[in-house]
């Protein structure tokens, strides 16, 4: 006897149960990402708000995940969760405009110095280019925690950097651009000064917090924050220069 088709409400209940299972199984992933991100944010940002936004991202990941694309669910969900938290932060726009402006000026100064000298810009040189002393420069780096860095500022979504998540066969030009971008990003990270490269690796790949990173490289948590923000500014300068060159090809 042929099995009768399921009624809409039965299908809905099954989906709801599956979503509940996804949320329960990966709730710890949401909390880990939230606390990792909160470590670099002001006290005014509540971790519970990040967790709530992350849960929405987790549910979206559960609905849209396709195992046939080749990416592990944890990888895909992590991107959706973090992206949802960043969207929440940008929506609230709690970072002062002056912080964003200074971050852009910092990246511009690094681009000018490195274009002029052909080597990594040094703290003293960057401060001089900005017309400030080194202590003020370090304060700007510390305030840079208010700027959430994501691949979107380079004109690309981070999830698009992971092969197998999105089918770009319908847009070979975009696929070629992103492939070249990935290669340049890898080179830009590899070309960072050693301590900045280590901090980037430990923070993003190993997902360590600032205190843990500081204990490894032998500096204070505050100094790790400065190094991380300086690496962001250096990458922003180098990637924006690459994008300008590509637009002129």
Ordered domains of the chain (ranges, CATH): 8-92 (1.10.1740.10), 97-247 (1.20.140)
Residue 181 has pLDDT above 60, yes or no: yes
Residues sharing a CB contact under 8 Å with residue 33, sequence separation 6 or more, in sequence order: 50, 54, 78, 81, 82, 85
Is 218 or 46 the better-scoring residue by pLDDT?
218
Residue 151 has pLDDT above 60, yes or no: no
Q: For the ranges 6-20, 81-95, 170-184, which has the lowest average pLDDT?
A: 6-20
CA distance 220 to 217: 9
Please compute Rg for the chain using Cα positions: 21
Is 43 or 178 the better-scoring residue by pLDDT?
43
Assigned token pair, 138: 């370090």
What is the pLDDT, as a whole number, of residue 117? Answer: 94
**Location of structure tokens 């809409």:** 8
Q: What is the pLDDT of residues 187-209, one digit of tens each?
A: 888 999 999 999 988 988 888 88
pTM, two decimals, is 0.67
Assigned token pair, 164: 């197998």
Is 217 or 146 the better-scoring residue by pLDDT?
217
Number of H helices, E strands in the chain: 10, 0
Question: Average of pLDDT values for 52-60?
Answer: 90
Residues sharing a CB contact under 8 Å with residue 6, sequence separation 6 or more, in sequence order: 14
Is 25 or 176 the better-scoring residue by pLDDT?
25
Is 35 or 157 the better-scoring residue by pLDDT?
35
CA distance 111 to 238: 7
The rounded mean pLDDT for the chain is 77
């Amino acid at each position: 006897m042929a099995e009768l088709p399921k009624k809409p409400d039965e299908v809905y209940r099954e989906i709801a149960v599956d979503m509940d299972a996804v949320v329960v199984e990966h709730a710890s992933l949401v909390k880990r990402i939230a606390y990792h991100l909160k470590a670099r944010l002001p006290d005014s940002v509540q971790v519970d708000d990040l967790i709530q936004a992350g849960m929405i991202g987790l549910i979206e990941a559960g609905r849209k995940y396709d195992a046939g694309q080749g990416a592990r669910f944890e990888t895909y969900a992590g991107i959706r969760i973090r992206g949802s938290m960043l969207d929440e932060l940008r929506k609230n726009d709690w970072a002062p405009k002056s912080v964003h402006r200074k971050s852009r000026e910092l990246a511009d100064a690094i681009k000018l110095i490195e274009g002029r000298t052909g080597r990594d810009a040094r703290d003293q040189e960057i401060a001089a280019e900005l017309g400030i002393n080194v202590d003020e420069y370090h304060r700007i780096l510390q305030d840079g925690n208010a700027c959430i860095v994501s691949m979107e500022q380079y004109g690309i979504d981070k999830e698009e950097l992971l092969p197998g998540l999105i089918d770009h066969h319908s847009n070979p030009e975009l696929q070629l651009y992103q492939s070249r971008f990935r290669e340049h990003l890898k080179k830009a990270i590899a070309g960072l000064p050693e301590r900045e490269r280590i901090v980037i690796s430990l923070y993003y790949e190993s997902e360590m917090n600032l205190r843990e990173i500081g204990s490894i490289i032998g500096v204070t948590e505050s100094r790790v924050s400065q190094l991380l923000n300086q690496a962001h500014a250096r990458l922003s300068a180098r990637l924006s220069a690459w994008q300008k060159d590509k637009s002129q090809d």
